[in-house]
Structure 1
Amino acid sequence: MPALLRRLPYLLPGALLCLAIAGVSRLLVEIPALGHLGLGSLTVAILLGLLLGNLGAARFGGLRPGVELSRQQLLRLGVVLYGLRLTFQDIAALGPAALVIDVLMVGSTLCAAWWLGVRWLKLPRESALLIGAGSAICGAAAVMASSPVLRARAEHTAVAVATVVLFGTLAMLLHPLIFAHLPHLFGSSKAFGIFTGSTIHEVAQVVAAGRAMDPAAADAALISKMLRVLLLAPALLCLGRFGASEGAQEGKRRLHIPGFAVAFLVVTGIRSLGLVPHSWLAPLQQLDDVLLGMAMAALGLATRLGDLRREGPKPLLLGAGLFVFLLVGGGLINSGVQHLLG
């Protein structure tokens, strides 16, 4: 606690900027013109963050610590608190189809990244697999977790993060539009939510897209996404075994288990057992809305679209190819599995 108090003056400026963006976003979505577009406050927050960040607002050193706090710790806390909205009964209601879809999506997307990035585009294997991991599992978090396993260079990591955030943001905007026009594309809102959770890159982007749909789709999307996040651990084992360059040292590869995903399940279990007083739920969910809004703003502020120019067009082509694969291939996988098991 004393260490946190000493850091507070450094954290406040950036955190307050993220809070302000989140607050403005909540006000903007009340404007009828924006409301008719189906944009949620979290979607608007990341777009405002991208705009301000790439105009230079977050390049002042004094803002960076608070932005990073919001992008990392507050995002994880927001996802954990989201578990208060769900129960294990909700997870069981998705059925086995959700898990089968997630396993197929993660495996097929990583294979597509290898084939398209390494074999066709001739990208370094580390760069291709970083973009693949971010697209397949959980966006920038998966990129950062995979980087030490693959012993990737810093510039490859930066480009991969910018790529998956860019295409994840496009997916975040596109899915609610598809839902608005074809809400029963997969048979139900729940099925569409599973499709959303199994194909959008970032956890926060899935939350934003789901919240722009309806409650059934939003809950199914997050549960499906969190199942996908839990696949990060076995995916890293595979990347460490097959993906690293020939000179990589086994002793330096570490398995990263996403603690916030485990905590999400713990909180969901607490809610399932009825251990949270009902009077606490509304305030905690409002706090969760604020934390997720700040995290989305920070994600936009921290993303440098200029990083994409460093490696030329190939990472963008790979990101675009995987974006199409997630949308089209993911739709086919979702349709097939939900037809068989749904």
Structure 2
Amino acid sequence: MFSEKQGNVLHGILLIVLFSFSAFYIAEIQFIKNLSLSPLIVGIILGMLYANSLRNRLPETWVPGIKFCSKQILRAGIVLYGFRLTLTDVAAVGLPAIVVDSIIVCGTIFLGIFLGKLLKIDQDTALITSTGSAICGAAAVLGAEPVIKCEGHKTAIAVSTVVIFGTIAMFLYPIMYRSGLLSSLSDTQVAIYTGSTLHEVAHVAGAGNAMDPTDTLGIAGTATITKMIRVMLLAPVLVIMSFALAGRKKVSADGTVAKSKITIPWFAFGFIGIICLNSLLQYLFGAPTVKDIPLNGAIEYIDTFMLTMAMTALGAETSIDKFKQAGAKPFILAFGLFIWLVGGGYLLVKWLV
């Protein structure tokens, strides 16, 4: 028999589940698919619409259920994300992609911290925005949130910057490719450039497909694998970040000052463990690609739904007032990182690959 408290939590979870189902339905509309907007992005938009309309008309007791989705469901979703990767994928692309990805990730995070100080943006916003641009967009923002421990609206703002500039890049790269601006790069270099610099996995897939629809040149496939290597870097980045942030002082809402303790992101180790398990399954079943591993499709669908729930829950805690409070600076920061990814990434690939 459920207690009243458990029932209220369940109501909040069911609300997010309902929005998430809606996000999946909307994401299948052809116009939305053409924009390569994943259910995760649609989910946060729906959550924000709710936050700025019905939020004050529903019971406050439902909030714990919403927070459960943005915390516990999130961590589980990040762990299951590992089923999209295998160690074979990494070996297939080779050392050049790993080197470029590593430089892009480190360079983007450090540049973001530096630009954040120049713009006088708070450390949390600068770090979580940089992490999203550096690794894998919304999924990286969600993964970093439990480590950085920033407010929900800052997380939502970081996701928004990733969506805006990642979508611009998704349309920009095929235009650059077809207009000859990337003619000095080989097909392999174009693929690594695309996978190492675009924000979301969906953005890489969209741009790769636009440049090489049938993957006859190997651009689409290699770009996706390069992107997934970047995703793998999420785990070590979160571990390093948790140690780097340990001991810093944070002022709480009531004005008290407390030192941050080391937050070991155990879900990051789970993520790596799942990648290793998936690699073993690929070997045992003799699957040529990760998609051919039994039940992989079902697990990926469940994982996408869980991450959509987390994104929707974050959106549900984000009002327009909080965006106004943040101002334009986070978007200026994200624009600076966008310029670095497009320009710096091009030079890195040309020199190193």
Q: TM-score w.r.t. structure 2 length?
A: 0.71
Give the residue type in structure 2 aligned to 1:165: V
Quickly say closer, same or farther: Cα 1:143–1:334, change in 2 above 3 A. Answer: same
**Partner of 1:29 in structure 2?**
27
**Partner of 1:173 in structure 2?**
167
Deviation of 1:12 (Å) = 2.1
Quickly say closer, same or farther: Cα 1:110–1:207, change in 2 above 3 A. Answer: closer
Q: Distance in 2 between matches of 1:286 and 1:188?
A: 29
Mark the runs of 5 or more structure 2 residues left unpaired by the alignment: 132-139, 210-219, 251-257, 286-292
Quickly say closer, same or farther: Cα 1:193–1:232, change in 2 above 3 A. Answer: same
**Partner of 1:55 in structure 2?**
53
Quickly say closer, same or farther: Cα 1:91–1:176, change in 2 above 3 A. Answer: same
**Partner of 2:350 in structure 1?**
339
Deviation of 1:323 (Å) = 0.8
Cα displacement string for residues 149-208 of structure 1 (whole angstroms, at most 9, x for unaligned residues): xxxxxxx85664343233123234334333564578674445422222xxx4xxxxx355
Matched, 1:270 2:264: no
Q: Distance in 1 between matches of 2:267 and 2:54?
A: 31
Matched, 1:231 2:230: no
* 3-state DSSP of counterpart to 2:233: helix
**Partner of 1:139 in structure 2?**
141
Matched, 1:75 2:82: no
Aligned counterparts, 1:241-260, within 5 A: 252-260=259-267
Residue identity over aligned pairs, in percent, reads 24
Q: Distance in 1 between matches of 2:176 and 2:342?
A: 13
Q: Distance in 2 between matches of 1:143 and 1:279?
A: 32
Aligned length: 309
* 3-state DSSP of counterpart to 1:171: helix
Aligned counterparts, 1:112-123, within 5 A: 112-118=111-117, 120-122=118-120
Deviation of 1:107 (Å) = 4.3
Deviation of 1:326 (Å) = 1.9
Give the residue type in structure 2 aligned to 1:73: Q
Q: Distance in 2 between matches of 1:339 and 1:255?
A: 39
Deviation of 1:52 (Å) = 1.7
**Partner of 2:63 in structure 1?**
64
Q: CA RMSD in A?
A: 3.6
Deviation of 1:101 (Å) = 4.0
Cα displacement string for residues 260-304 of structure 1 (whole angstroms, at most 9, x for unaligned residues): 222111111111112787543333233223222222222322233
8 Å CA contact 2:93, 2:225 repeated in 1? no
8 Å CA contact 1:162, 1:303 repeated in 2? yes
* 3-state DSSP of counterpart to 1:63: helix
Q: Distance in 2 between matches of 1:105 and 1:244?
A: 29
Q: Distance in 2 between matches of 1:268 and 1:5?
A: 38
Q: Distance in 1 between matches of 2:81 and 2:113?
A: 34
Q: Distance in 2 between matches of 1:65 and 1:180?
A: 44
Q: Distance in 1 between matches of 2:61 and 2:143?
A: 24
* 3-state DSSP of counterpart to 1:39: coil
Aligned counterparts, 1:296-315, within 5 A: 296-310=311-325, 313=327
Deviation of 1:224 (Å) = 0.6
* 3-state DSSP of counterpart to 1:231: helix
Aligned counterparts, 1:100-111, within 5 A: 100-111=99-110
Deviation of 1:218 (Å) = 4.7
Residue of 206, 218, 227 corresponding to 1:221:
227
Q: Distance in 2 between matches of 1:159 and 1:39?
A: 21
Q: Distance in 1 between matches of 2:102 and 2:249?
A: 22
Deviation of 1:222 (Å) = 3.9
8 Å CA contact 1:162, 1:307 repeated in 2? no
Q: Distance in 2 between matches of 1:189 and 1:145?
A: 32
**Partner of 2:39 in structure 1?**
41
* 3-state DSSP of counterpart to 2:36: coil
* 3-state DSSP of counterpart to 2:55: coil
**Partner of 1:324 in structure 2?**
335
Q: TM-score w.r.t. structure 1 length?
A: 0.73
Cα displacement string for residues 42-64 of structure 1 (whole angstroms, at most 9, x for unaligned residues): 32222222222232437742332
Deviation of 1:220 (Å) = 3.7
Deviates more, 1:263-272 or 1:214-223: 214-223
Deviation of 1:88 (Å) = 0.6
Give the residue type in structure 1 aligned to 2:48: L
